[in-house]
Structure 1
Amino acid sequence: MKPELNPTSLKIDKLINRIDNGEIKIPAFQRGYVWRQNQIIELLESLVKQYPIGSILLWEASHNEKLRSTRNIAGYKLPDKGDNWPVNYVLDGQQRLSSIYAVLSEHIEQEPSSEKYNPNLDIFEIYYDFSTKKFIPKIDVKVKSDSVVLLRNIIDPIKLFDELVSLNKKYHSDAKTLSSIFLNYDVPVIQIKNRTREEVGVIFERINNTGTKLDLLDLMTAWTWTEDFHLLDSIDTLLDSLEEKSFGQIDHKLILQIVSGIILGSTQTENILKLTGERVRDNWEFIVDAIKRAVDFLYTEIKCANIEFLPFHQQMIPLCRFFSRNKKHTADQLNIIKQYFWRTSFSDRYSTGQTTAKLDFDIEFIDKVLDYDFSDINKYKTSISPDDFINTQFSKANPITRAFLLLSAQYSPLDLTNGSTIDIGSSLASFNRKEYHHVFPNAFLSKSGETKQRRFAVANFCFLPSNSNKKISSKAPSIYFFNIIPKIEKDKILESNLLPKEDDIYTNDDFDKFLNERSKILINAIFALSGN
């Protein structure tokens, strides 16, 4: 059937009747009701003044497209339509529609099963005061007032008649006018018909609700839900188990891309939306194992002890694809995967556009590696230059810093002050500035007139425990390089920290030469690891 997108309008009483009959539901992937009472009153004021309130977007789902999990408007007890009847799901406008219904409907009992999402019913008990021409909450209504009506009774002729009995006669005409306004207000409705769940999912993801992009995870949770499987809960359980290695903060959207990458070989939204509940549920344990193995690889082979240090979180997707295919891998395969990691870490591959298309290519590359075809590794190139280490400021916020720290960790850096092995696991467990040291101290450079940009250049940092850092403090390199660093092991210590060994750099406190030589050493180290 031809897809339809029909703009129309419905009077408020017709909307309420359709909700009362169970025709309109909230899909489980929608967030709960979040409006406050003042927002409801502002909406009512707009209705009375005949202001536009925006449209309600409904998706009419056929029998085959119905969702497993739904909620009722405002959590009220409402009937369910039979299996052969279509259901209209609210994709946008839930807060407005729920507010109108909850204020004006005669239904005031909520479903206890949806308590997590149910709003406090008191916020919907709103009156109109004809003496002040204002909407007021129940708490502000004076005892035995003859100038107010409960809005819940305003559109039912019988209940309105009862309200008029206690209302001062001079307000009767105003009350009938108010009732007419609510009854005759046309609410704009856009009706989607004959669209697949995949199409609706794309539409849904692109809708902005109060400025916040709606969550694809909520949609997939609804589509994969069964009595014994809840995707969001399963993901949270997985993330809890990864917290031991400090990978418990993986983004939910990334998890969905990993799931789709493993099952379908694609990370694009339209393909994620093609995942069936059965395939996700049937492969979940397999997916969890692949993610854990990828984290183990990063933790042990790359020495990435916290996801915060991963240069690009997208790198998880191809790695998970790799570890989902075989339990055992050859040394050659693992070596190529490491080269892929370092080449992408020191490039802008995931910093520019078309990321999902690139990730789909990466998945194809992984599949070739699994078939012992390594030729595509040459399509990955590092794009970093020595100047990037000089012009980039040391900050966890940029991928160059994160990649630099992991690169440095590969060479098992030794403590500058005593030659002992630095506990990299501890240093990379969390981003603590006290674990990293300006090779040319910040205070020393500041007195020399160096700009902050240059003082905080990535090339001017190395690992150093906080206690050792205090020994060096603000001393000039010409002092601490010859008085604090053990002389016998000096070359070994400098090499382990990827620092230049030329004495004249430190004797002359030559910061320019230091930055240039250090950056060249870092580039060579990258080439050694990436095979680039």
Structure 2
Amino acid sequence: MSYKPRTLFGLIEDINTSLFLPHIQRPFVWEEEQMLRLFDSLMRNYPIQTLLFWRTKDEIKARKFMEEAEWDPDLSDFYEPNVSKSGAEKVFVLDGQQRMQTLYAIFRGAILSESGVRLEAYFDVTSGDKMTDTGLLHQIKFSNEPLPLPWYRVANLLGAHAQRNAEELADELNESLDALNASKPVEQRDTEEVRRSREKRVRRNMSQLISLLREERHFWVQQLDGVADKFPYKTVLDIFVRVNSGGTKLDASDLMFAAMKEGWGEIEEAIEETTELLNGANLQFDKTFPLKCLLVAHGRGAEASAEKFTGADGEKLLTDMEASWERAEHAFQELRDFLANDLKIFADKVIRSYTSFIPLFDYLYQNPKPKEADRALMRGYHYKAQLFGWYSQSTDTVVNALHGIVGKPCPGGFPIDDVKAYFAGRSSQGELKKHQLTETRLRFILLNLVYVDQMGTSPFDVKYKGNEPHVDHIYPRHASLTKLGLPSSEVNHLGNYRFVGATDNIRKRGELPASYFSRLKHSGVDIRKHLLLDSFSADPSQLAFDEDNYRKFRDERLEAIWQIANTIVNPENSKVAT
């Protein structure tokens, strides 16, 4: 096993030539905010976790990194059969995919917008002196067109400016910035002090960027050598699971328990049992979640730290928690029942933020046994939070603000209008609109919502992982692209998506819809839960494989999905919530 420093330039050069992802790796899941935080950490010279690689010649399915990072891609497009075969030497990333894909996108590639537009990274070379509301010092923007100074195209460091040194680049940028300053009216020009300060930041920023790329001191790689040493697939798989699923790692809650046990000896056991209760439906809550719920309910804020449980104030907090534990336990049980019975959530794929459940606990703690109409509003809140990314940034700030809205007796029911008003103040959406149904990254949540409504349960409610549903095209993707000549934006469309079991999806292959659904119907399968439209369900032969029939079916089915989603996501606008 080797452990050595690497340059970022060398790592990027290795990507998709000798460095790949194993098939056991999940897709790229980092939000844009996490990407920006990684860049900011590196610019501050903060250390990042060691990367873990595995060198092997085994027959392991190899996947390429994305040249343009996208969310919810078709992973089958990125597999490399020649690299995957036995005898082909390759290096797999076991731990570090999210970081490396982020760095590749920033320094060489791009990200794709939801509409499929390529966005490249631009860095504000003058940043570093003022912190944003999200806690960042160094600013990155992704843009589909060149940005003017002080924005610098980061990919130039590996392209047009690959042979330039930091001092030369800083001098050139400062000269251009000085020229821009000189072109302003006299009264708007920077003072000499401001100009000198800006010049220093530019020099420091460009020096750090070049250092990140070219010096062997920022990135450390631990490599398991399965060619020279014995690291069989079974052993590596165990290592991978431990590294990516927790293993013996400590999380924030473990650090807090040490400070809590003197005040309440049974707290860790209570928290572990609660976490197990919430995770009974294949979810991934960690022990920090119930701790944050308790802190919020007791008015101490969502920020989880050991300091809150020390000193006289910490002792009082623990005493209060222990005294009211029965009440909290009932609220956790009600939250679990709400997840399982009302939301029917059984998979991470339909959750974009676990933090969004803290205000639901906070509400149940103060308002136990909500009526059916209130649960409909709670359900609407949940879907809004997931679909609109209400918790994509500054999550503790959001939770603390909502505590003032939901963390008190609410005789009028769940205060969805006040919650929406808060997010409107943060320039966030409050109601689902029809045009949003076609946003690709939301398809799992929206499809699950529809299937729960139609079937009374989630297709993700499975015990065996291999039975989890796939997103399937009703009109086959490949045939629609090649034979009908439709653009991908029309084929990869919610009106054409359904869930299908993994095994059935493999058997289906590229069978045309009229034949496939007629066969299912004759076998006694209820195809309406998939098609949603009575006319097509009664006569699947109407699913003729031509452009006009496809668009008719897709658009009518999208309208049916909209009617379901609008009722569930926007219950405050319907009679359900009265």
TM-score (norm 1): 0.48
TM-score, length-normalised on structure 2? 0.45
Indicate the structure (1 or 2) with the bigger Cα radius of gyration. 1
